[in-house]
């Protein structure tokens, strides 16, 4: 068996995604988001979380998925990417699982309409569940990170 990692499971539509727990700072309910002009469409703005200004990205918009209304289940997952905190808006985040790394397979070119470069792999859980593992450093590419860093100032 490979090593075991803890993964936070979240949903966008009917698909389940995973982010390693050690990359996640906190999971928050929806907070008031301050819009920022001249940013990418999927950048919703910034939030003030306990005195820290954090840029917030709608992952549905980032992945080109249809946007939906936010609900009571909507969450902002605060992750650390390249020494920077970023919030990802997801439909729901409701599970932490242990995952053996040998269950993670190389992703196909496109999974659920999302290009493989955003993915670390696809993990099989049980007989009928697939978990799409995000590659956080690709979800935010360097140019976008530079733009987001300027939001934090």
Domains of the chain as residue ranges with CATH: 4-152 (2.40.50.180)
CA pair distance 15, 32, nearest whole angstrom:
26
Burial class (CB in 10 A: 0-12, 13-18, 19+), 133: buried
CA pair distance 65, 29, nearest whole angstrom:
21
Encoded tokens for 28: 């928050």
Per-residue pLDDT of the chain (153 residues; tens, 9 = 90+): 569 999 999 999 888 999 999 999 999 999 999 998 888 888 899 999 999 999 999 999 888 888 899 999 999 999 987 778 999 999 999 889 999 888 888 876 655 555 667 778 888 888 788 888 888 777 776 666 667 677 766
User: Is the Cα torsion angle 9, 12, 17, 21 positive or negative in sign?
Assistant: negative
**Can you give the pTM of this predicted structure?**
0.85
């Amino acid at each position: 068996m490979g090593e075991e990692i803890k993964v936070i499971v979240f949903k966008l539509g009917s698909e389940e995604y995973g982010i390693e727990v050690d990359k996640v700072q906190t999971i928050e309910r929806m907070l008031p988001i301050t819009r920022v002009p001249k940013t990418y469409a999927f950048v919703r703005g910034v939030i003030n979380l306990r005195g820290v200004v954090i840029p917030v990205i709608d992952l549905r918009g980032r992945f080109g998925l249809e946007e939906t209304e936010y609900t009571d289940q909507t969450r902002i997952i605060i992750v650390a990417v390249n020494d920077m905190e970023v919030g990802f808006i997801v439909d729901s985040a409701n599970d932490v699982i242990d995952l053996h790394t040998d269950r993670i397979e190389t992703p196909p070119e496109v999974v659920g309409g999302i290009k493989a470069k955003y993915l670390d792999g696809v993990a099989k859980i049980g007989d009928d569940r697939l978990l799409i593992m995000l590659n956080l450093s690709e979800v935010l590419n360097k140019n976008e990170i530079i733009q987001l860093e300027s939001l934090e100032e």
